[in-house]
Amino acid sequence: SLVPMTEFLPRAKKEGFAVGQFNMNNLEFTQAIAAAAKEERSPFIFGVSEGAMRYMGLDYVVAMAKIAAKEAGVPVALHLDHGSSFEVAMKCIQAGFSSVMFDGSHYPFEENIRLTKEVVKAAHAVGVSVEGELGTIGGVEDDVQVDEADAALANPEEAIRFWEETKVDAMAIAVGTAHGMYKGEPKIRFDIIEAVSSKIDAPIVLHGGSGVPDESIRKSVGLGVGKINVNTESQVACTRAVRKLLDENPEMIDPRKYLGPGREAIKETVKEKMRLFGSSGKA
């Protein structure tokens, strides 16, 4: 069954590992992530963006996630990724999501706090966990687009106050990562992670986990990052496998013949991340 992130995030922060949020884009992603978790004995979070929800349909998402969780046999949270409004968060909760993110990072600080608090109040009343965001993460992810120039790091004092007032279960702060693949190496502000993490109970969430060097991931987790989001790397692995097969076999027409290997490539990517994050064996 689906569980809120509070089932595993407090332990992750205490024991110094992070749980991966892997985005669910279609059936193959759903199956690949569940299979990886089963083999690694790792808890995980299915991230569903509003774009992915439009693509699959809300009821398909919930039904597939429930079956995948049963199949994986590990704690699984079904989480709205970058939710843009109270309404969309409530719609997801009513449909069966166990966790939601409210991304109010583009609102003025006080407004972000006020709106996030409303989501927390309604979600916590029905046992659903909440992630909030402060500072803006650069790059592109579905509906969320931020120019590098507009990407703003989170201010530690504000992040601490944000948490104290909202009591979100996971705190996403912009620390230098970006959505999508990097052009260069990301410069992660470990000092911001440390300053905020040491002062709040909730773990820090690292968005844009794709393309971040393993060493930076390990260091972040050691400083209090307890949730890491990965989407682009899984997409790249899948598409690379599919493209190679189609290039080499122009006569291939059965989608199962190329989507199967695409699914396998996603699974391997997710397994590697689970080991890197230290969540393997923690289910």
How far apart are alpha carbons 191 and 169 in whole angstroms?
Answer: 21
- Segment 27 to 56, residues that bind ligand G3H, using CB under 6 A: 47
* Span interacting with ligand G3H, options 28-36, 92-100, 192-200, 228-236, rule CB under 6 A: 228-236
Specify burial of residue 54 (Cβ count, 10 A radius: 0-12, 13-18, 19+).
exposed
- Can you tell me whether residue 239 is helix, strand or coil? helix
How far apart are alpha carbons 233 and 243 in whole angstroms?
Answer: 15
Nearer CB in complex with Zn ion: 173/266? 173
- Would you count residue 220 as binding ligand G3H (CB under 6 A)? no
* Span interacting with ligand G3H, options 196-204, 206-214, 236-244, 258-266, rule CB under 6 A: 206-214
Residue 141 Cβ, how far from ligand G3H at the closest point, in Å? Answer: 6
Pairing of strands 144-146, 204-206: unpaired
- Would you count residue 232 as binding ligand G3H (CB under 6 A)? yes
Length of the chain: 283
Q: Out of 59, 81, 247, 254, pick the active-site residue.
A: 81
* Residue 249 annotated in ligand binding: no
Among 79, 117, 179, 267, binds ligand G3H (CB under 6 A): 179
Closest CA to 191 of 220, 226, 230: 220
Residue type for 169, please? D
- Would you count residue 141 as binding ligand G3H (CB under 6 A)? yes
How far apart are alpha carbons 9 and 233 in whole angstroms?
Answer: 23
* Residue 79 annotated in ligand binding: no
Residues forming the site for ligand G3H (CB under 6 A): 23, 47, 81-82, 141, 179-180, 207-210, 229-233
Residues in contact with Zn ion by CB under 5 A are: 207
The residues carrying an active-site annotation are 81
